[in-house]
A and B are shown apart, each in its own frame.
Chain A
Amino acid sequence: MARPSQLFRNLNAKVASIPMILTALVVFVGGTIWTIVYSFTNSRLLPRLNFVGLDQYERLWSTPRWIISIENLLIYGSLSLIFSMVIGFLLAALLDQKIRFEDTFRTIFLYPFALSFIVTGLVWQWLLNPDFGLQGIVRSWGWESFAFDPLYNQDIVIYGILIAGLWQGTGLVMCLMLAGLRGIDEDVWKAARVDGIPMWKTYVFIVIPMMRPVFVTALVIVASGIVRVYDLVVAQTGGGPGIASEVPAKYVINMMFEAQNLGQGFAASTMMLVTIAIILVPWAYLEFGGRNRRG
């Protein structure tokens, strides 16, 4: 007699997860395939199946605005990842020194995260405005030659956006890290102290390796925020000055609705997907594929 089919084991759980599986298949996979297929057409405002081969991709990669978008994403992404991790960890480590008013500091640092990117962008647009913001204040103190106007300088505008992004997102990383630090057994610290290991060494060689899961969580959260950065740029600079602070997500939206060129927008979003896949697939393989071998 044949063994009961694998398919019917845990039937309840499988039935319960059908809606989610369908959603994932239809919305995510289906939508992705649909987008990729239509990126090979010359669809304008409405989708049309009129294939034009790789035309959209050729145009995409010969468009300066797209190239600048990709460069900006690389700069913003790598720096935002590094700085939010480093600053987040440092803040958490400082807060972990059993200081007074810890709750107050935690609230202050986390508070920006409660604001949307739109509000963050507008706030920093004012702060970095050369006439009313930081530069204006310092000049009014008497330092007339002081110049700090990142939002109006094409070469450094992306760093102006980075500052706002870090201000908004670092608090969350700090909280995650703090939770991680609190999860470290007190005995580890005692043992290190008995052995006379300096505090910074304990952090770098013992505590941080123990916090690996927390770092992975923070990394995933920060990274997913980077790829979809859109509203911050729209609110803060609108992509300017010129096209110096354009980002890929903004290119996609502009192409689809403003330029009424769906094909071009789809080609750009497909390229975004490919970029993410190139980074994510090897990482996921290392992170999750290796676990089986380790047992």
Chain B
Amino acid sequence: MRYKLLATALALSAALPFTVSAGATDLEVTHWWTSGGEAAAVAEFAKAFDATGNKWVDGAIAGGGPTARTVFISRITGGDPMGATQFNHGRQAEELVEAGLMRDLTDIAESEGWKNIINPPSLLEGCTLDGKIYCVPINIHSWQWLWLSNKAFEDAGVPVPKNWEEFVAAGPKLREAGKIPLALGGQPWQAAGAFQVLMVSLAGPEVFNKVHGDKDAELAAGPEVKMVFDAAADAREMARGSNVQDWNQATNLVITGQAGGQIMGDWAQGEFQVAGQVAGKDYTCLPGLGVHDVIATGGDAFYFPVLKDPAQTEAQGALASLMLKPEVQVAFNLKKGSLPVRGDVDLATANDCMKKGLEILAAGKVVPSVEQLLSQDSVTQINDLMTEFFNGDMDPADAQKRYAAIIASAD
């Protein structure tokens, strides 16, 4: 299974145009973008950066965000920093910034007026600590999407669902037709992500904010959240037999019509695109599971560790400002399937699903991402609980009890 990852990583390293020009500064950039769509997107950054006369040294790490962040953090704290590194903005790099290991980008941000161009402003706030800016938000990723394979529903003889309830109702029919109703990869973050989507979409943004933002353990133990756990039990039943690990393999089940749908962030969009599928015709997307139209404004950001070499520091600055250039933003985000962080760029070529996302964003129906609200410690505890829940036969009531306990001790 990992073979595919390796293959994409190899393809990626071969596809990157390494232009070696005289006096070029090598800058190692680490990230966890290894699937087909992601690799195509990151190649856009590399191309633009190489055009400035510097050299992008690609440090892709396979195995998903948590695995990659383990490597990043141990390298930075171990005194072997890279030139630039991806994190999800929010609290993942909080302590690294506090310890002074990350470069202060405030002067670049002020001279280029990031405050005026980045929308929604909460993205830049996620990069700010004590009034100083430490990272470049590059895209908006939202988790709250249900991707449906039109072919799978056609084969099963049921209309493509319009919301979560219809989807659950169609589950048995899909099973009969030999399909997996819901594709779900085995990695812990995927189960936890799917649960959070159910939470914000079914219980609504208000409950979501109170539980994670205000750490309201009583509410987490209450009836609104119980409904979410019951829905998670439905999802668990529908996901039986997925037998894949990586998210893009699960997405592939949807693309090939072997699975009915997948709850996954909008990065899945890139995979549909690489496979040549058309939104609305081959696949359908339901933001907020078709219940609450809302998206979370998490996303990726680049941090720049403090380096001693002045030439490399300069190259860091060049990369930071380049990532927010309108043409780079458009090129990157179209390939990635994410939304640009600037409200002023032209996304006429965006497909139906991205347009839905842009509309919701423009209407301001947004919630912060879980990574922005909870510390990594709490996030990991929730991940562990969810992966245990989704892969076993834990009673929803027990799971809710443990969930409330995690929220009660969260920070």
* Chain A positions near chain B (C-beta within 8 angstroms): 44-46, 63-65, 122, 125-126, 129-131, 149, 152, 154, 235, 238-244, 253-255, 257-261, 264
Instruction: Evaluate contact between A240 and B70: CB separation under 8 angstroms.
Output: no
Instruction: Evaluate contact between A257 and B73: CB separation under 8 angstroms.
Output: yes
Tell which of A44, A125, A244 has the most Cβ of chain B within 10 Å: A44
Instruction: Evaluate contact between B187 and A238: CB separation under 8 angstroms.
Output: yes
Q: Find B391's partner among A126, A154, A235 (CB 8 Å cutoff).
A: A154
From B53-61, B149-157, B300-308, B373-381, the one touching the partner chain is B373-381
Instruction: Evaluate contact between B376 and A259: CB separation under 8 angstroms.
Output: yes
Please give me the residue from chain B that is nearest to A122 by CB atom. B2
Instruction: Evaluate contact between B186 and A238: CB separation under 8 angstroms.
Output: yes
- Set of chain A residues within 8 Å of B376, measured between Cβ atoms: 258-261
From B120-128, B137-145, B283-291, B382-390, the one touching the partner chain is B382-390
Q: Give chain A's interface secondary structure class.
A: loop
Instruction: Evaluate contact between B380 and A46: CB separation under 8 angstroms.
Output: no
Instruction: Evaluate contact between A64 and B243: CB separation under 8 angstroms.
Output: no
Q: Find B77's partner among A46, A154, A241 (CB 8 Å cutoff).
A: A46
* Chain B positions near chain A (C-beta within 8 angstroms): 1-3, 66, 69-70, 73-74, 77, 92, 94-96, 99, 186-188, 243, 245, 375-377, 379-381, 384, 387-392
Instruction: Evaluate contact between A45 and B95: CB separation under 8 angstroms.
Output: yes
Write 12 A-B pairs (CB below 8 A) sorted by A numbering.
A45-B73, A64-B388, A131-B243, A154-B391, A242-B387, A243-B388, A244-B391, A255-B380, A257-B70, A257-B74, A260-B73, A264-B377
Q: How far is the CA of A242 from the CA of B243 in the complex (A)?
A: 12
Tell which of A45, A122, A259 has the most Cβ of chain B within 10 Å: A45
Q: Give chain B's interface secondary structure class.
A: helix
Instruction: Evaluate contact between B70 and A45: CB separation under 8 angstroms.
Output: no
Min Cβ gap B398→A in Å is 11
Instruction: Evaluate contact between A258 and B388: CB separation under 8 angstroms.
Output: no
Q: A64-B388, A238-B245, A260-B375 are in contact. Are A44 and B95 (CB under 8 A)?
A: yes
Min Cβ gap B154→A in Å is 23
5 closest A-B pairs by CB: A242-B391, A259-B380, A45-B95, A257-B70, A241-B391
Q: A44-B95, A240-B391 are in contact. Are A65 and B66 (CB under 8 A)?
A: no
Q: Find B99's partner among A46, A65, A130, A257 (CB 8 Å cutoff).
A: A46
Instruction: Evaluate contact between A254 and B387: CB separation under 8 angstroms.
Output: no
